[in-house]
Amino acid sequence: MKKDIKYVYFVSLGCSKNFVDTEVMAAYLIKHGFGITDDARCASIFVINTCAFIPPARLESENNIFKATKWKKKASGRKLIVTGCLTQWDKKEEYLKKYPEVDLWLGIDELTNLSEKIAYLYNDNQKNRSKVFCKSNPSYLYNNKTPRLQLTPAHYAFIKIADGCDNRCSYCSIPSIRGPLRSRSTQSILFEAENLIIKGVKELIIIAQDITAFARDTKGKKDNLTTLVANLDKIRGDHWIRLHYLHPEGITDELISVLKNSEHIIPYLDIPIQHISDNILKRMNRKVTQKEVLNILEKLRQNIPGIIIRTTFLTGFPGETEKDFNELMNFVKEWKFERLGVFPFYSEPNTKAATMDQQVPFYIAKQRANDIYAIHTENSLNFNSKFIEKKVKVIIDSVTGTRAIGRTYMDSPDIDNTVTISKSKTLRFGEFVHVKINGFTAFDLKGKLTDIS
């Protein structure tokens, strides 16, 4: 390491959308003469890009801030910066008071100004200088010309097509944290996707808070998710395109038709359904009914062979009765979703749900979440058992001495299942191989390399 360069250590918390912000910050710092290190001991600046979506996320952010304060005390001249959603969420600056060791609190609109703020931090000797730079209504959105350092493994990358959200679900604080919906241009997204494929990326993961809302904020233009997806599918190469976070309301017949006939867009959709009881869907302000959700799911299963549906549910939402919960349990039993997450409801300040009547005790919400997950575990075990002696296409994520770990098209990195492969030849990250399955658990497959025949 060069002694005349200041090195920065990053911790990126929360979702993949936040991770893209971290990649942008890292690239801007390199552009302005800073170094990036994966060893905090070698750094003089510690940056935590935080998540604040629900209490456990804020607790994780706090734990990382606490660890970083201990790091700061071990050497003089070290600086601690907190960025992202926690800063945006903390309207009353309570964390500022709780963690005076933090040198700067930066909001989302300051991503590209991080180098300037660091210079300000080192050069300003005034005792009363500002510590917080955060707009209450973020407007920043990167594009294909934005410097960005890919921090994922070389074979997959995230493309954020929009930021913010206008859906206003009654339980969600995202609009107040990330701001209103703002979409990139289709041309910008296509340029980025093409460049990533040229670089050797084998899996593009398309993300936004709700990708079906793409371009709704660009008045007068004909762009939408369907046209974007159709254009992305035209990019040549041997690669996957994966879609994340589709609100059920935005899944149209036109979109289903494009997905059905696509070459590169894999049959995997992340669709947060949240609940199936009409009573709860209405209170959540989800803008769909049970009948509409079922109709969408039926169309997807009927029209797209081999489709994998990942979904999430909330239990214990205000007003959730035993009848509502039983509807949800029966729904999960019947539809046997291939991938599923479930969370107990947390009452978020400044959301409509926080002031609703009929609040459900948290211990009940948590038990209901456990019950749903138990059903899913059994469903997943039965689903995986059907792959014994079958051949599947796998992308390699990691390689050790005697084995490799990969994923099928059914699995998104870090959140879904894996395939453990008994290694019989040299494998490379990002390589596509075929594996014959000879073992399974509820959430993983095991197998050996085989040919495609």
For position 403, which CATH number holds? 2.40.50.140
CA-CA distances (angstroms) from residue 47 to 3, 59, 121, 372?
20, 17, 13, 37
β-sheet bridge partners, residue 391: 436
- 317 in a domain, yes or no? yes
Domain boundary among 385, 417, 433: 385
Does 171 share its domain with 288?
Answer: yes
Does 15 share its domain with 120?
Answer: yes
Domain boundary among 355, 385, 415: 385
Torsion angle, CA of 360/365/371/375, rounded to 10 degrees? 100
pLDDT of residue 451: 80
pLDDT of residue 128: 60
- 320 in a domain, yes or no? yes
- 52 in a domain, yes or no? yes
Domain boundary among 385, 412, 434: 385
pLDDT of residue 351: 95
Per-residue pLDDT of the chain (453 residues; tens, 9 = 90+): 666 789 999 999 999 999 999 999 999 999 999 999 999 999 999 999 999 999 999 999 999 999 999 999 999 999 999 999 999 999 889 999 999 999 999 999 999 999 999 988 888 665 667 899 998 889 999 999 999 999 999 999 999 999 999 999 999 999 999 999 999 999 999 999 999 999 999 999 999 999 999 999 997 678 999 999 999 999 999 999 999 999 999 999 999 999 999 999 999 999 999 999 999 999 999 999 999 999 999 999 999 999 999 999 999 999 999 999 999 999 999 999 999 999 999 999 989 999 999 999 999 999 999 999 999 999 999 999 999 999 999 999 999 888 999 999 999 999 999 999 987 678 888 999 999 999 999 999 999 998 865
For residue 213, what are the domain limits? 156-385
pLDDT of residue 299: 98
The enclosing domain of 193 has a CATH number of 3.80.30.20
Does 381 share its domain with 400?
Answer: no
Does 287 share its domain with 169?
Answer: yes
pLDDT of residue 452: 67
- 97 in a domain, yes or no? yes
| Alpha-carbon gap, residue 439 to 428, rounded angstroms | 23
Q: The whole model's pTM is what?
A: 0.95
The enclosing domain of 119 has a CATH number of 3.40.50.12160
Short-list 321, 249, 252, CA closest to 285? 249
Does 71 share its domain with 107?
Answer: yes
Does 193 share its domain with 315?
Answer: yes
| Alpha-carbon gap, residue 241 to 263, rounded angstroms | 9
CA-CA distances (angstroms) from residue 293 to 213, 261, 280?
17, 22, 13
| 207 close to 225: Cβ distance less than 8 angstroms | no
Does 262 share its domain with 123?
Answer: no
Does 370 share its domain with 405?
Answer: no
Does 334 share its domain with 433?
Answer: no
- 139 in a domain, yes or no? no
- 143 in a domain, yes or no? no
Does 227 share its domain with 98?
Answer: no
Give the HSE-up count for residue 143: Cα atoms under 13 Å, Cβ half-sphere: 9
Give the count of domains, the chain: 3
Does 234 share its domain with 332?
Answer: yes
What are the structure tokens assigned to 68, written together? 């970083």
Short-list 59, 109, 63, 101, CA closest to 83? 109
- 12 in a domain, yes or no? yes
Does 354 share its domain with 400?
Answer: no
